Amino acid sequence: MIRLLIAASLAVLVSLIGTRYLIDWLTKHRIGQPIHEDVPEGHTTKAGTPTMGGVAIVVGGVLGYLVSRLSELFREGDATAAVFTRSGLAVMGAIAGAGLVGFLDDWLKVSRERNLGLNKRMKSLGLLTVAISFAVITAYHTPTHRSISFVRHDQLGIELGVLPYVILCVLVIVGTTNAVNLTDGLDGLAAGCGILAFMAFTVMSFWMFGNSELYDVSHALDLAIVAAAMAGACVGFLWWNAAPARIFMGDTGSLAIGAGLAGLALTTSTMLLLPVIGAIFVMETVSVILQVARFRTTGKRFFRMAPIHHHFELGGWPETTVIIRFWIISGMCTALGLGIFYADFLSATDLTSGS
């Protein structure tokens, strides 16, 4: 528990202070977010707001994780006490890799002073590289189970070969990163939902560590530390990103958050629980898919504007109302996900005791 607190608190501190200095530096160098023309009218006033704040999230998360692990070395006085597992490093690598892809996209946007960064092909190639690298590392060099499951790897009995597992990783990582990216359209919305999701993975991973005989997730404690560090990093950033935002996370932050959630779901064998915990991200993505599909087939729209948060804005909801209500929905879905997780634990322990 101490290691989780160290990771989370340090990540909050680094992200909180780092974002403040990042705002000053970006403002001084006039690096601001270009605003897309196809947005609600109230968003045009946000043009020029510093972006790429996701750098502070990634740095805060990485440092929180590293220092938490290194703290064991100083407490135990033994070099072997600071255990960096390959699963934890793989998830952190995915976070950093996706964050780098997002940073390149953000940098091209601000340097060109247009809301056009990497083209779709290059952005997809970058995320594919991250996803395939993660899949290969976890498949061959970690005890991660190559299975499709809600909570435990043996639930559905669907054990995948290497190639299907790689495809699964690509689908989950690319899908989740794009879902968080679509959600990042209102001040603090993606960061707030990300905090709740990472907190859920912190709780579940730590519970798996305490009940290792049931879950068989060898690196559960290290994954809990990763989740706690990322939750803390998002908290520190949200201090400055809350409406009215002083800085945006940009693709740097949204892609990193998405990769972190996907990586944690894959390494803890909870990929089918991820859509429940990240229901807001799913809702935003589905709204875009429905909007595009209906417009291309009928010329009509499902929503006033997609993603769906803009639909409610155009319906008269103030931005802060949309954000807070979406946070509430995200909180309820996170609670539902944790409830499913705990219900499965009770069911499994009843079966075990009964046998």
| Whether residue 18 has pLDDT greater than 70 | yes
3-state secondary structure of 50: strand
What local confidence, expressed as pLDDT, does residue 109 receive?
Answer: 84
Neighbours of 115 (CB within 10 A): 15
In tens, the pLDDT along 325-340 reads: 999 999 999 999 999 9
Chain position carrying tokens 């045009």: 44
77 pLDDT tier (thresholds 50, 70, 90): low
* Residue 59 lies inside a defined structural domain of this protein: no
What local confidence, expressed as pLDDT, does residue 35 receive?
Answer: 63
83 pLDDT tier (thresholds 50, 70, 90): confident
Instruction: Give the N- to C-terminal CA distance of the chain in Å, as an integer.
Output: 32
* Residue 191 lies inside a defined structural domain of this protein: yes
Rounded CA-CA distance 122/116 in Å is 12
Rounded CA-CA distance 44/184 in Å is 16
What local confidence, expressed as pLDDT, does residue 154 receive?
Answer: 78
Which residue, among 102, 25, 18, has the nearest Cα to 59 in the 3D structure? 18
- Structural domain of 260: 86-225+241-354
Q: What is the mean pLDDT of residues 309-316?
A: 94
Give the up-direction half-sphere exposure of residue 22: CA atoms within 13 A in the CB hemisphere: 26
* Residue 307 lies inside a defined structural domain of this protein: yes
State the Rg of the chain over Cα: 20
* Residue 230 lies inside a defined structural domain of this protein: no
Rounded CA-CA distance 293/42 in Å is 27
When the pLDDT of each residue in the chain is averaged and rounded to a whole number, the result is 91
How many domains does the chain fold into? 1
Q: Give yes or no for a contact between 54 and 101, defined as CB atoms under 8 angstroms apart.
A: no
| Whether residue 259 has pLDDT greater than 60 | yes
| Whether residue 291 has pLDDT greater than 70 | yes
41 pLDDT tier (thresholds 50, 70, 90): low
What local confidence, expressed as pLDDT, does residue 113 receive?
Answer: 64
* Residue 80 lies inside a defined structural domain of this protein: no
What local confidence, expressed as pLDDT, does residue 76 receive?
Answer: 59
* Residue 158 lies inside a defined structural domain of this protein: yes
The string of DSSP codes covering 241-305 is HSSSPSS--HHHHHHHHHHHHHHHHHHTT-TTTHHHHTHHHHHHHHHHHHHHHHHHHHS--SSSS
What local confidence, expressed as pLDDT, does residue 196 receive?
Answer: 98
* Residue 180 lies inside a defined structural domain of this protein: yes
Which residue, among 82, 276, 99, 278, has the nearest Cα to 190 in the 3D structure? 278
Q: Give yes or no for a contact between 9 and 232, defined as CB atoms under 8 angstroms apart.
A: yes
* Residue 43 lies inside a defined structural domain of this protein: no
Select the more confidently predicted residue: 253 or 36: 253
Q: Give yes or no for a contact between 307 and 288, defined as CB atoms under 8 angstroms apart.
A: yes
